[in-house]
A and B are shown apart, each in its own frame.
Chain A
Amino acid sequence: MMNAPLYHRILLPTDGSEASQRAILAGVEFARDIGADVVGLTATPAFHVVSTDPDMVGDTADQYADASRERGRRLLDDVERAAREAGVPCQLEQTVSDEPWQAIIETARRLGCDLIVMASHGRRGLSSLLLGSETQKVLVHSTIPVLVHR
């Protein structure tokens, strides 16, 4: 027996890692069960002239912006597909930020999300046994509950 659900809009940040894809699925399934909608979010890093990121080297700022929009779009396709298959209303957000944790908190606040569902570690995490640094910063700074998936 279910009373009025506690959460209405769930933020699903993704960096394309397998861990965040699992978190997306879990978040979409929870949203479906409680009748919430979801917001898919990806933060792509800002362009830097000097960079070790192969996606930035050799590009102009414009080329880089196009390429990273494209990359972000592909990551968000995952969220859109999962939401569509589950019949969950979904909106997608792309931000440019070198601090994904800030983008996550800012987007949650701006769009009125009342829950963040994310993976305990992301692409940069060395090991699934460690808590990723972005996740850790979100946990420290978010006043919205964070549901962390391994």
Chain B
Amino acid sequence: MADPLDKPLDKPSGRPLYKRILVPTDGSDVSAVAEHAAVEFARAHGSEIVALSVAQPYPAYAAAEASMAVDPGLDNEAVREAAERNVRRVSAAAAGAGVACTPLTVFSHSASDAILDSARDHGCDLIFMGSHGRRGLSRLLAGSETQKVLAGAEVPVMVLRPKPPAG
């Protein structure tokens, strides 16, 4: 087994080590912590940001159940609007800090798959995530989507946990 430590480091390139950071956002307080940290990181270290919002379409069975009352097309439009609102918030924060930001909204049933695919497609070399997302109510799970991203990511993942409320 080759010892990874026997390979010398590349010489400093003068360019940031992490050039393009993927920041998934779901509008939760936890992802707001990651967004804020990513913008700060990008500003300090000269990186750019790809802000990703995953619009999760209504599952087909839910639409079928309520097909008399609900037009799934309208629902998906609302989902997309919410997702775009989230990503616009990150773009605005990045612009305020003078950080280049590419906003991205994708439709997917799996947030973690969308995150991993987007990181690959957009050549991101770092992913910023909160330690639990919208669904992660249990601290012990450390966020199931975050776990899936950590297990599947080809690039490093910066995990941030919101500070516990005082008192």
Q: Do A and B form a real pair? A: yes
Q: Which residues does A use to contact B, with CB under 8 Å?
A: 1-6, 18, 21-22, 24-26, 28-30, 32-34, 78, 81-82, 85-86, 120, 129-131, 136, 139-140, 142-143, 145-150
Taking CB atoms, residues of chain B closer than 8 Å to A136 are 142, 147
B135 within 8 A of A: no
Are A25 and B140 in touch, CB under 8 angstroms? no
Asked if A143 and B163 sit within 8 Å, CB to CB, the answer is yes
Per the bound structure, the CA–CA distance linking A130 and B156 in Å amounts to 15
Among B3, B9, B18, the one with the most A-chain Cβ atoms within 10 Å of its Cβ is B9
Given A6-B40, A21-B4: A146 touches B142 (CB 8 Å cut-off): no
Query: Which of these, B3, B45, B154, B156, contacts A6 with CB under 8 Å?
Result: B45
User: Besides A25-B9, A86-B9, 7 other CB < 8 A contacts?
Assistant: A2-B16, A3-B43, A6-B44, A29-B17, A139-B131, A140-B139, A148-B158
* Contact present for A120 and B9 (CB under 8 Å): no
| With known contacts A5-B44, A143-B161, A33–B12 Cβ distance under 8 A | yes
**Is the beta-carbon distance between A5 and B5 smaller than 8 angstroms?**
no
A-B contact pairs, 28 of them (CB 8 A): A2-B45, A2-B46, A3-B44, A4-B44, A5-B45, A6-B41, A6-B44, A6-B45, A18-B4, A21-B3, A25-B4, A29-B17, A32-B12, A33-B16, A33-B17, A82-B5, A120-B150, A129-B152, A131-B151, A136-B142, A139-B146, A140-B161, A143-B161, A143-B163, A147-B157, A148-B157, A148-B158, A150-B154
- Report yes or no: A146 in contact with B159, Cβ–Cβ below 8 A: yes
- Cβ A129 vs Cβ B16 within 8 A: no
- Quick check: A29 and B150 within 8 Å, CB to CB? no
> Which of A18, A30, A85, A147 is the one whose CB lies under 8 Å from B1?
A18
Q: Write the nearest CB–CB distance from B71 to chain A, whole angstroms.
A: 40
Known: A33-B12, A139-B131, A140-B139. A2 touches B150 (CB 8 A): no
0/1 string, B129-161, CB within 8 A of A gives 1: 001000000011010001100111110111111
State the 3 A-B residue pairs at the shortest beta-carbon distance, nearest first: A21-B4, A6-B44, A22-B4
| A-contact 0/1 string along B34-74, CB 8 Å cutoff | 00010011011110000000000000000000000000000
- Given the complex of chains A and B, what is the CA–CA distance between A4 and B16 in angstroms? 13
A145 touches B159 (CB 8 A): yes
Would you call A30 and B46 a contact (CB within 8 A)? no
Contact A139 B4 (CB under 8 A): no
Contacts of B158 in A (CB 8 A): 145-148
B5 touches A142 (CB 8 A): no
**Which residue of A has the minimal Cβ distance to B138?**
A140
Interface status of B8 (Cβ within 8 A of chain A): yes
Which residues of chain B are near A22, meaning CB under 8 Å? Answer: 4
Q: Select one of B12, B140, B157, B163 contacting A140, CB under 8 A.
A: B140
Looking at the complex, which one of B4, B8, B44, B159 makes contact with A2 (CB distance below 8 Å)?
B44
